[in-house]
């Protein structure tokens, strides 16, 4: 740092540091990040925190996509320091002509500077918000960048984005060892309220990245609790599809295609199962495009066209049979579509939807050509797939008839809401809430405890458990479910209309035991598949009743999980703690239920989101699907928590 005398600016104790013009721009750039972190990383909660990790890992993945790196190690140490090591080429350290600074310093301190240095190849678009590693640097109390390149080890350190050292040679590494980059940082507590990374969230994303980058190994170690996982998938997206279908009955071995076309790289893996849902996930430059886009459109039309053409040619579909519809060919379809583009265009800030028009035709032609070739060469598999589509078509027709019946019935009954519903007096849906409560006795407590002005109660009997193994379509014929649909008012499936929603909040309130969890999963899956709009627009919630009431002397508290119970025991240090465990909602009297779970002033509720549809889908298939073994395994691996819930 320059050490000239301070200019006379009239102030006593003026700062000694002198900023030359270039440094001022650097500071301005990164100061903007610190002033409005949300604009760069979305938020400063745990998501924003994870964003920092993803941003740094994405940079290493770009290096892997360029073919220069095949190992990435991520470590969170006991003090919450994150270290990301890769064996790529290392960020160049030579002096960058425009700025007179080391390229490393420019990449680390200038917003959006990274891309300029990349030569060719596809970019992960530097994470969701495209901010680059300099934003991570700005939001870190300290950052240490180490480069292994040309036999030398270079290092530069930063504090809140400002260089604290020059780029210095700190050592040599032996000939024959790999070059690479080591990024170490500690998120700034002035920015992040809490530093508590979630292992599962990070691991899931690393797994996804490893699937999407064939041959890449990502090792993840969490030294806070010693957990560690390594992801490497020789099969790339073929392995991804196998993973998604692990708990499903498959109709054939996965089919995969990978082809370059007009500068785009198109990959797809397809495998049909005997499940009823569709599990198609799309990616553009490794970004999970949850809202689909042109690659998904191209893929879907290729599948529909190819299966219809084949079914006609092979005479499985006769002259007078109608074509298979898009819905018919999507049932039981598991697929990954991954495209890599030099200039991806995303339609929203969140990058959830791909916009490049040319990609539709590219995906469509690659998939049509290769998938029809697969069907020609595998007639047995082709027949199994088309039979499945025909069964789906028939089931859909039967379901449509059943649904019509429900809708006709509910139209007839439209003036009469279900008898068990205890409605509220508030008619404005923005201010009203519907509690869906498991069991009559809990329903009774909720009815007495509620604020009848804005809270309605619909008790459900345990009976819906009986339909768990059947198709969700059958659920529509269940009386309890029909009462729920009528009370909510929106209708289901294609007939869903949010403007008819009768309650702004629909709250699932079940017991904290195994049956309660079961019913909750079932209801969530029902909402996910038939009233997705309810979740998408944030109207679905899960109530959080307390697990315990504890008393020690005059202190009395409600406790919501075992972690808090331990904390309470530590805090009180008395032998005489009276712990009452609530097994079911029915054990609480109406006042307690209101106080702890329903009163907006005290309660916490979980808002249900559409995120992680892949994992939710997997869990549902596992719990509800036809394969018994994985369900057993799931119950065994969760036996501990199940026992805790049950005592
Ligand atoms: C710019 C140019 C080159 C590599 C990199 C950046 C690079 C960035 C990161 C970020 C994490 N790990 C990284 N590894 C490399 C290419 C340099 C060359 O051509 O040798």
Which candidate, 210, 268, 184, places its Cα nearest to that of 70?
210
Confidence of residue 627 (pLDDT cuts 50, 70, 90): low
Q: Among the options 150, 347, 515, 595, which is catalytic?
A: 515
**What is the sign, positive or negative, of the torsion defined by CA atoms of 362, 368, 371, 376?**
negative
Work out whether strand 71-76 and strand 217-222 pair parallel, antiparallel, or are unpaired: parallel
Residue whose pair of structure tokens reads 């553009």 in the numeric block: 284
The binding-site residues of ligand 1, defined as CB within 6 angstroms of any ligand atom, are 59-60, 63, 86, 88-92, 117-118, 181
Query: Rounded mean pLDDT of 512-536?
Result: 82
The SS3 of residue 516 is: helix
In this predicted model, what pLDDT tens digit does every residue of 428-464 receive, in sequence order? 999 999 999 987 788 899 999 999 999 999 998 866 6
Q: What is the pLDDT of residue 643?
A: 35
Q: What is the pTM of this model?
A: 0.66
Q: How many CA atoms lie within 13 A of 17 on its CB side?
A: 8
Q: Among the options 77, 513, 561, 612, which is catalytic?
A: 513
| Higher pLDDT pick, 459 / 120 | 459
Measure Cα distances from 2 to 19, 20, 79, 170, 239 in Å. 8, 9, 33, 22, 54
Confidence of residue 13 (pLDDT cuts 50, 70, 90): very low
In this predicted model, what pLDDT tens digit does every residue of 126-182 receive, in sequence order? 444 457 899 999 999 999 999 999 999 999 999 999 999 999 999 999 999 999 999
Q: Cβ atoms within 10 A of the Cβ of 35, count?
A: 10
Spatial CB neighbours of 166, under 8 Å, sequence gap ≥ 6: 102, 156
Q: How far is the CA of 89 from the centre of ligand 1 (A)?
A: 5
**What is the sign, positive or negative, of the torsion defined by CA atoms of 271, 275, 276, 280?**
negative
Which candidate, 155, 158, 147, 26, places its Cα nearest to that of 98?
26
Pick from 53, 89, 137 the residue to mutate for probing ligand 1's pocket: most ligand atoms within 8 Å of its CB.
Answer: 89
**What mean pLDDT value characterizes the chain?**
84
**What gap in Å lies between CA 286 and CA 213, rounded to an integer?**
8
**What gap in Å lies between CA 218 and CA 195, rounded to an integer?**
23
Q: Among the options 73, 331, 433, 511, which is catalytic?
A: 511
Pick from 55, 58, 64, 88 the residue to mutate for probing ligand 1's pocket: most ligand atoms within 8 Å of its CB.
Answer: 88
């Amino acid at each position: 740092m320059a050490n000239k005398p301070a200019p006379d600016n009239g102030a006593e104790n003026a700062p000694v540091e002198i900023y030359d013009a270039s440094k001022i721009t650097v500071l301005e750039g990164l100061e903007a990040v610190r002033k409005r972190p949300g604009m760069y990383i979305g938020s400063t909660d745990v998501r924003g925190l994870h964003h920092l990790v993803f941003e740094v890992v994405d940079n290493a993945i770009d290096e892997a996509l360029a073919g220069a790196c095949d190992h990435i190690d991520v470590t969170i140490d006991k003090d919450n320091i994150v270290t990301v090591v890769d064996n790529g080429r290392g960020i160049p350290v030579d002096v960058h002509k425009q700025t007179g600074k080391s390229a490393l310093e420019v990449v680390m301190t200038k917003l959006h500077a990274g891309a300029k240095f990349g030569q060719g190849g596809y970019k992960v678009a530097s994470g969701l918000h495209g901010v680059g590693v300099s934003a991570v640097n700005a939001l870190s109390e300290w950052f240490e960048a180490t480069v292994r390149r040309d036999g030398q080890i270079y290092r530069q350190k930063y504090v809140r984005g400002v260089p604290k050292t020059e780029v210095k040679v700190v050592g040599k590494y032996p000939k024959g060892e790999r070059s690479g980059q080591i990024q170490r940082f500690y998120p700034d507590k002035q920015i992040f309220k809490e530093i508590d990374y979630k292992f599962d969230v990070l691991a899931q994303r690393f797994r996804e990245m490893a699937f999407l980058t064939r041959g890449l190994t990502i090792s993840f170690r969490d030294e806070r609790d010693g957990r560690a996982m390594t992801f490497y998938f020789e099969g790339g997206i073929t392995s991804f599809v196998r993973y998604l279908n692990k708990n499903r009955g498959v109709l054939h071995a996965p089919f995969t295609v990978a082809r370059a076309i007009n500068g785009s790289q198109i990959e797809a893996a397809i495998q049909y199962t005997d499940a009823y849902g569709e599990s198609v996930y799309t990616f553009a430059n490794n970004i999970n495009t949850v809202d689909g886009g042109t690659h998904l459109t191209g893929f879907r039309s290729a599948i529909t066209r190819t299966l219809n053409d084949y079914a006609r040619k092979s005479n499985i579909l006769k002259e007078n049979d109608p074509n298979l519809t898009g819905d018919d060919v999507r049932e039981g379809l598991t697929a990954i579509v991954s495209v890599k583009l030099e200039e991806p265009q995303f339609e929203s800030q969140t990058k959830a939807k791909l916009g490049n028009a040319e990609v539709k035709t590219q995906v469509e032609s690659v998939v049509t050509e290769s998938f029809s070739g697969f069907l020609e060469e595998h007639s047995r598999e082709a027949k199994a797939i088309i039979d499945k589509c025909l069964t789906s078509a028939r089931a859909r027709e039967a379901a449509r008839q059943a649904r019509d019946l429900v809708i006709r019935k509910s139209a007839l009954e439209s003036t009469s809401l279900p008898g068990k519903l205890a409605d509220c007096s508030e008619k404005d849906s923005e201010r009203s809430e519907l509690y869906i409560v498991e069991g009559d006795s809990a329903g009774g407590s909720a009815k007495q405890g509620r604020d009848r002005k804005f809270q309605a109660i619909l008790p459900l009997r345990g009976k819906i458990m009986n339909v768990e193994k059947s198709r969700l379509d059958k659920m529509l014929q269940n009386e309890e479910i029909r009462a729920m649909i009528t009370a909510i008012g929106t209708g289901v499936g294609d007939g869903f209309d949010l403007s008819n929603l009768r309650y702004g909040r629909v709250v699932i309130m079940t017991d904290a035991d195994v049956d309660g969890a079961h019913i909750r999963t079932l209801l969530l899956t029902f909402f996910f598949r038939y009233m997705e709009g309810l979740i998408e627009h944030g109207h679905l919630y899960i109530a959080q009743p307390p697990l315990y009431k504890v008393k020690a002397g005059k202190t009395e508290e409600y406790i919501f999980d075992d972690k808090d119970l331990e904390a309470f025991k530590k805090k009180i240090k008395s032998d005489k703690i009276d712990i009452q465990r609530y097994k079911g909602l029915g054990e609480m009297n109406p006042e307690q239920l209101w106080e702890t779970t329903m009163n907006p002033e005290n309660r916490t509720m979980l808002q249900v989101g559409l995120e992680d549809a892949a994992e939710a889908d997997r869990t549902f298939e596992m719990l509800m699907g036809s394969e018994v073994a994985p369900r057993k395994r799931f119950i065994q691996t969760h036996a501990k928590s199940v026992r805790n819930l049950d005592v």
